[in-house]
Amino acid sequence: MVQRLGIRKHKNILKTTLNREPLKPLNREPDNFFMEQAKDDIIIYGGSFDPPHKGHTALLCAALREIKPRRIYVVPAFQSPFKDAAPVSFLNRFNMLKLSLGAVRPIRTTRASRFEGQKKRVTYTFETIKHFRRLHPGAKIYFLLGSDCLAGFWRWKNRRGILKNAVLLVGARRGFPFKNYSNLPGSAVRRVPFRRLKGFFPEISSTSLRVGLLTGVDSRFIAAPVKRYIRQKKLYFSKERRFLKQLLTPARYVHSLSVARLAAELAALHGESPQRAALAGLLHDAARDFGEVRLMRYAVSKKLKIPCFARTAAPILLHSYASAEVARGRFGVRDKTVLRAIALHTSGAARMDTLSKIIYVADLASEDRKFSQAKKIARLARRDLDEAFLAANYVKLKYAAKRQAVVGGKSSGRRLQATGSDSM
Ligand SMILES: [Fe+2]
Ligand SMILES: [Fe+2]
Residue 317 has a pLDDT of: 83
| Lowest-pLDDT range of 76-80, 121-125, 218-222, 399-403 | 399-403
| Lowest-pLDDT range of 33-47, 228-242, 254-268 | 33-47
The number of the ligand nearest the C-alpha atom of 362 reads 2
How far apart (Å, rounded) are the C-alpha atoms in residues 219 and 221? 5
Q: What are phi and psi of 166, to 5 degrees?
A: -145, 155
The number of the ligand nearest the C-alpha atom of 262 reads 2
Residue 324 has a pLDDT of: 95
pLDDT confidence band for 408 (50 / 70 / 90): low
pLDDT at 24 over 80: no
Q: Return the half-sphere exposure (C-beta side, CA atoms, 13 A cut-off) of residue 363.
A: 33
How far apart (Å, rounded) are the C-alpha atoms in residues 76 and 94? 7
- 87 C-alpha to ligand 1 centroid (Å): 25
pLDDT confidence band for 73 (50 / 70 / 90): very high
- 319 C-alpha to ligand 2 centroid (Å): 10
- 296 C-alpha to ligand 2 centroid (Å): 19
- 170 C-alpha to ligand 1 centroid (Å): 46
- 278 C-alpha to ligand 1 centroid (Å): 15
pLDDT at 30 over 50: no
pLDDT confidence band for 1 (50 / 70 / 90): very low
pLDDT at 142 over 50: yes
- Total residues found in the chain within this entry: 424
Write out pLDDT tens, residues 157-175.
888 889 999 999 999 887 7
Residue 419 has a pLDDT of: 44
pLDDT at 137 over 80: yes
How far apart (Å, rounded) are the C-alpha atoms in residues 142 and 163? 10
| Lowest-pLDDT range of 13-27, 72-86, 341-355 | 13-27
- 345 C-alpha to ligand 1 centroid (Å): 6
Which pTM does this prediction carry?
0.72
Q: What are the residues whose beta carbon lies below 5 Å from ligand 2 (ion)? A: 285, 363
**Beta pairing class for 167-173 and 42-47:** unpaired
- 198 C-alpha to ligand 2 centroid (Å): 48
Cβ–Cβ under 8 Å, residues 388 and 380: yes
The number of the ligand nearest the C-alpha atom of 258 reads 2
> What is the set of domains in the chain, with CATH numbers?
31-212 (3.40.50.620), 237-402 (1.10.3210.10)
- 231 C-alpha to ligand 2 centroid (Å): 26
- 126 C-alpha to ligand 1 centroid (Å): 48
**Beta pairing class for 141-146 and 42-47:** parallel
Write out pLDDT tens, residues 270-329.
999 888 999 999 999 999 999 888 888 888 888 888 776 666 667 788 899 999 999 999
Write out pLDDT tens, residues 239-263.
788 889 998 999 999 999 999 999 9
Residue 199 has a pLDDT of: 84
N-to-C CA span, the chain: 100
